[in-house]
Structure formats: C-alpha cells, structure tokens
Amino acid sequence: MASGLAALLDDVAGIAKIAAASVDDVAGAAGKAGSKAVGVVVDDAAVTPGYAMGFTPDRELPIVWKIAMGSLRNKFFFLLPGALALSAFAPWLVTPLLMLGGSYLTFEASEKILEVFLPHEAGDEVEALALSSTELEDQKVAGAIRTDLILSAEIMFIALADVAARPLALQAAALALVGLLLTIGVYGVVGLLVKMDDIGLHLAQRRTRVARALGRGLVRAMPTVLGGLSTIGTAAMLWVGGGILVHGLEHFGWDAIPHLVEGLSHWAGQVPGVGDITGWIAFAAGSAVVGLMVGATIVGILHLVHKIAPSKAH
C-alpha cells in the first residue's frame, strides 16, 4: 500500500513538473512573441484615447470598457482561430498577410502625417454634430473596434510568426496569453489616460499644497501627453510596418533593401558601449523610411483614384 502511494505521489510530482515546464514554455513563448509586437501595442494605446474624448466624464470609462470587450472578442473569436488555422493549413500565408498589414500601418501613419499639413474637411464634423450622444458613442465604439481589429491582427500575426515552429497547443496558449495580457495592459493604460484630467481636477481640490500642485500639473500635462502619444504612435506604425516589410522582402529573397537597412544597423551598432541601442535605432529609422515611402505611395495612389472617380461619375 505504501509503495503504491509512493508511486502515485511520484506520478503526481512528474505530472506537476511537466505542467510547470509547459507553463514556462507558454510564458516564455508569449513573452518573446509579445515583445516583438510592442510597436503595434504603443500605437494601439496611442490611438484609442481619442475615441473616448469629447464625452461626459461618466461615459469615458464605460466607452473604454466597451472597446476593450470588443478587442477581446476580436482576438479570441476571430483572430486566434484564424491564426491557428493559418499555422496548421497555410503557414506560407503568414508572411504575405503580415506584409499586407504592415503596408496598412504605413498607410495609416502617412495619412496622419499628411493631415498635419493639409486642412481637415468639415463634412465629417457636421455629420457628427447631427448625431445624438448615444448614436455618436456607438459610432465611436464601432470605429475603435474596427481599428483594433487591424492592430490586433498585426499583434497576433507577429506573435504567430515567432511561435510558428512550436506545437499547435503551445501556439494557442501563447497567442491567447499574448492577446489577454496586451489587451489588459493597453486598455488599462487607456483608462488611466482618459481619466488623467479628472484625477488632476480631484487632486487640485485637495487641501495640501503638494496635491494641488500635482493635480494642476496633471491637467496641464494632458494635451502634451496625448500629443506625444500620437507622435509616438505614428512613428511606431512607420517603424513596425516598415520593419515587417523589410523582413518580408528578405523572406522572399528580395535582398537589396533589407541588406541596406541591416548594413546601416550594423554600422551604427559598432558604437562602443551603446552599440545595441544605436543599432536598434538605426534599424528602426531605416525601417521607418521604408515604411514612409510605401505608405506615401499608397496614400498618393488612393488620393489620385479618389480625384479621378468623381470626375468619371460626372
């Protein structure tokens, strides 16, 4: 009886070790895969606060919650099954889809840069004013969830490319963990950002001088923080999208541009003591230039088509 119990305990201990190793494998794979998607995550966190702005303070967090739930639905109901199906049946499609998504990111960034130099059209603003607050909220949430679908797809495909050689069950667990943790992280930060001015106003009404000064500082910093996030998000879209395109070109044997960018990175990486940092900056800058060239080309083509189409209609 004692020997039977000892054998059972040995089996339980063995299963526990295997389970712990599996958890370590999943966590390690998720951490490595998620770190490569950081640029898209920065962009996601930079873009989303804009969808919750312009509403009364009591609606800001509910709107962020709705978008976060939509993001989880995007990841777990559509993107995770789709990514696993691709990995199982058409792994050759992962790189082309990544490049397509990377092109979209560079297009979005180039559009944002163009908007800085060209005046906005008033048509959309007039249309928005004609909507009720509930309709406007639903429209904003739907738009945010659509944008999240694109960014989440990039996150999942970047992560998939890094775990594609692992067993399917580990791929599923790693992608699910990446999706869950990044959603919590992104929308936790977004929630703090949209309430930053309210927190500042609350602190500004406190009795202590330090709290009042901190509160006023938060309120004054809000526009700068949002503007900085927008700039970082645009830059992230260019370097991430451009980097995806550079790796995709290398994957298909079109080596001229990848060799140029990697050569620049290698040259910059020879700085003593900070070579890793300068090398990464050089690769990101080179990728961003590639991204800007591709994005600007797409923007130019689409604007040309947009101008030609109405004239043909007349």
Cβ contacts of residue 112 below 8 Å, gap of 6+?
230, 234, 237
Q: What is the pLDDT of residue 158?
A: 76
- Band of residue 138 on the pLDDT scale cut at 50, 70, 90: confident
pLDDT bucket at 145, cuts 50 / 70 / 90: confident
**Percent share of the chain, pLDDT over 90:** 13
How far apart (Å, rounded) are the C-alpha atoms in residues 246 and 286? Answer: 9
For residue 148, count other CB atoms closer than 10 A to its CB.
26
What does each C-alpha distance from 250 to 45, 101, 102, 253, 262 come to in angstroms? 30, 17, 14, 5, 11
Residue 16: its pLDDT value, please? 38
Paired tokens of 165: 């050689």
What are the tens digits of pLDDT across the range 210-258? 888 888 888 888 778 777 877 877 888 888 889 889 989 998 999 899 9
User: Which position has the higher pLDDT, 182 or 131?
Assistant: 182
Locate tokens 């996150």: which residue?
155
Report the 10 Å Cβ neighbour count for 4.
Answer: 8
Give residue 50's pLDDT band: very low, low, confident or very high (50, 70, 90): low
Looking at residue 274, its pLDDT comes to 84
pLDDT at 209 over 90: no
At residue 41, the pLDDT reads 64
pLDDT exceeds cutoff 60 at 156: yes
Q: Are 39 and 146 in contact (CB under 8 A)?
A: no
Contact assessment for residue 63 and residue 51, using Cβ atoms and an 8 Å cutoff: yes
* Dist CA 19 CA 75 (whole Å): 25
Question: Which residues 6+ apart lie within 8 Å of 113 measured at CB?
Answer: 234, 292
